[in-house]
Structure 1
């Protein structure tokens, strides 16, 4: 057994199709692992395992495609919750759970508590049923009023899922406006630092927006929330990074989480490229602005360190959160 007394070190869930997943884990000494499933991290059915293996991986089939599943890996007295990172929806590609990340002191972010996403205007009826079953209660929307007017969030009609508007301009970048400028030959704004400066500008101008989400996580122990923008990568990525850093997640893990957007939004890029080509614009010129550049989130972390010291120092000094709020978020969000 390792020095922390852990048998299970890490785990990940890969979706194979609508009805099955493959779960793989890192464990010491080829431990015999039983796998249990449930539709909530705190409602795992432990009466009957869905898989058992000593090989480090197991496949689970026969899952209901209209439910989100969490899995508990069990080895003796040691347990670990895991789930698929991405919530597979028909109308959103970058909707994902922020749970499961390990902190530098050996704890983990709870699954099923906070989600980050791209736009929710194209959610289908089936998607709405799934989000309802997941218990999402509040939706924080970082898009501008103009963005919202053009693509309003589609939420359940029952009204139990509150929509909170926290507009963030993200350096005044707007895809349609960018297309117009380039068509008119205006490209002076296309500099290597444009995106990084946009991220940093958001830190300085919209601290109150990130604070509102963190205050929610501190005050509400069990009600899941989601925050989103249009692509789920820049404004949403900034908020996600601040939350994870404040929880004590390592910087490299925070960067890796940010980079997942590039995987999930890849299927949207061909459509955007076609739109640009029809407008007579070389898609490669805008590529950095359609993805989640690593240097942007690295720039955020460097700026926080150089200007404030830590993410917590920023949240207290700039965003106005009391240290007790950060402590309460950690109590609610970590296990």
Structure 2
């Protein structure tokens, strides 16, 4: 993935990486050797405490912030002396249950804007949220969950949201493939795995584009409304149905295709860190994990054909959003006004 380099006293390629439960490392790029950089932090991207920096360095391109509360989501502003600050956060929200819950903020658009942090999240299923996880979601201000799973899935593995009703729930069911989720797992349980190929994965995602434009458009419509609170949309693993939805949102915002592919591939990165737990669940179903390993990967060649399909079958993403998803120019403008900075 290409990141634009910094100019003058600006900084670029700002990243936040979790080091342990109580610390993160923030890094950046700058052409200036002795640049003074201050780090401010807060619990919301609009509530950064700028009274006193959490760290201040000179001539460095990284700094570690320690003493963080593991149960709190933090946002940081990296402020170079004489230049504009950059608000950033961890891409992955480290939760005890979900493995692939992440903030879609921070991505640059083709015209130089950025997606706001703390407004839109994507995830795997929320059936295994712990009490601490539920507290984190409330602290983050999430007020709406859009569940892309079908009723047989949600009946077996319902989202475990806070009991106080602080988070609204909306089901927008989308099927990945030609049949329900259980149908494929029953085939796998019988040892029938010949169908689980790269071509199947690609075709299933193209099918979402072709058959669920109205459903995907509904999510974008909801997201564009000024009164819609920070929201998360998810499916089972947070990769395919969620990945297609995330791609259309980012395309609508003007984020480059290479960034969208990068965002898709992150599912493989984050899911791989939980494979020991995932494999134990697979074995509990009587299935050899090796036979379904392909399902838990997210290489770029799984998703590049999906982006190409949008352009080849519908002329452009803009045309698809307008004709298949039903997104008007007015809705698109509201979406950009709300989510870009």
**TM-score bin, normalised by smaller chain:** over 0.9
Q: Does 1:7 align with 2:10?
A: yes
Structure-2-length-normalised TM-score:
0.91
Match of 2:170 among 152, 160, 164: 164
In structure 1, stretches of 5+ residues that fail to align are none
Q: Does 1:60 align with 2:70?
A: no
Q: Does 1:312 align with 2:318?
A: yes
* 1:133 alignment partner in structure 2: 139
* 2:251 alignment partner in structure 1: 245
Q: Distance in 1 between matches of 2:66 and 2:232?
A: 28
Assess if the C-alpha contact under 8 Å between 1:217 and 1:333 holds in 2: no
Q: Distance in 2 between matches of 1:20 and 1:274?
A: 29
Match of 1:17 among 12, 20, 34: 20
Question: Partner of 1:139: helix, strand, or coil?
Answer: strand
**Offset at 1:285?**
3.5
Match of 2:74 among 60, 69, 91: 69
Assess if the C-alpha contact under 8 Å between 1:82 and 1:111 holds in 2: yes
Assess if the C-alpha contact under 8 Å between 1:113 and 1:222 holds in 2: no
Structure-1-length-normalised TM-score:
0.93
RMSD: 2.1
Q: Distance in 2 between matches of 1:300 and 1:332?
A: 27
Write the mapping of 1:168-207 to structure 2, written as runs, cut at 5 A: 168-172=174-178, 176-184=182-190, 186-187=192-193, 189-207=195-213
Q: Distance in 2 between matches of 1:11 and 1:192?
A: 34
Provide closer, same or farther for how the CA distance between residues 10 and 293 of structure 1 changes in structure 2, counting only shifts above 3 A. Answer: closer
Does 54-63 or 217-226 show the bigger shift?
Answer: 217-226
Q: Distance in 2 between matches of 1:123 and 1:185?
A: 31
Match of 2:40 among 36, 43, 47: 36
Q: Distance in 2 between matches of 1:128 and 1:191?
A: 36
Assess if the C-alpha contact under 8 Å between 2:205 and 2:306 holds in 1: yes
Q: Distance in 1 between matches of 2:135 and 2:169?
A: 17
Alignment deviations for residues 216-254 of structure 1 (CA, whole Å, 9 cap, x no partner): 221126721100011001100111111112211111111
Alignment deviations for residues 265-302 of structure 1 (CA, whole Å, 9 cap, x no partner): 11343344455567775544422223224222111100
Write the mapping of 1:43-122 to structure 2, written as runs, cut at 5 A: 43-53=47-57, 54-75=59-80, 76-122=82-128
Provide closer, same or farther for how the CA distance between residues 177 and 58 of structure 1 changes in structure 2, counting only shifts above 3 A. Answer: same
Question: Partner of 2:79: helix, strand, or coil?
Answer: strand
Q: Does 1:254 align with 2:260?
A: yes
Q: Distance in 2 between matches of 1:284 and 1:140?
A: 31
Question: Partner of 1:135: helix, strand, or coil?
Answer: coil
Alignment deviations for residues 135-167 of structure 1 (CA, whole Å, 9 cap, x no partner): 001000000101100010011111121000000
Between the two proteins, the alignment pairs up a number of residues equal to 334
Does 281-290 or 60-69 show the bigger shift?
Answer: 281-290
Q: Distance in 2 between matches of 1:279 and 1:56?
A: 47
Q: Distance in 1 between matches of 2:156 and 2:189?
A: 22
Q: Does 1:27 align with 2:47?
A: no
Alignment deviations for residues 76-109 of structure 1 (CA, whole Å, 9 cap, x no partner): 2411001011101111110000001111111111
